[in-house]
Structure 1
Amino acid sequence: MTCSNPALGSGVGPLLWLSYGDNPPPGAQFNLGLALQRLWNWWEYRRPFGSTDGAYDMELFIRLPYSH
């Protein structure tokens, strides 16, 4: 089985996801207008980009200041 490098914005990748979300339509291409609209909706209204039916574990590490 071999893998090929698709052109930027084709196939499944971050540009299609940014334009259409988790399920781009068949034959979809990167759409700058949709991507900017989705970015704005996230920035202004905090609407999620993709699916919201799941969870991601997150950890926060805080380094304590060094003291003698």
Structure 2
Amino acid sequence: MGAFDIKHWLVVLLVVVLVFGTKRLKTLGSDLGEAIKSFRKTMATEESEAREDMPKPVEAAGANESRPQVR
């Protein structure tokens, strides 16, 4: 009784289509898609900027020098 059946979802969908109309739903869907795309782009841009602002790790002195060989 607590879970929605497929019949319930179809009735809800029918009511939404009758209230808003298909053209309005298409506009709302495209606006929502653009908003999500813009949000993802902003998040990716800010993440890359944050990585650029982080200080780079300093290598230990002499890390690239060759070690003396023991014979």
TM bucket, shorter chain: under 0.3
TM (norm. structure 1) is 0.25
Structure ID, larger Rg: 2
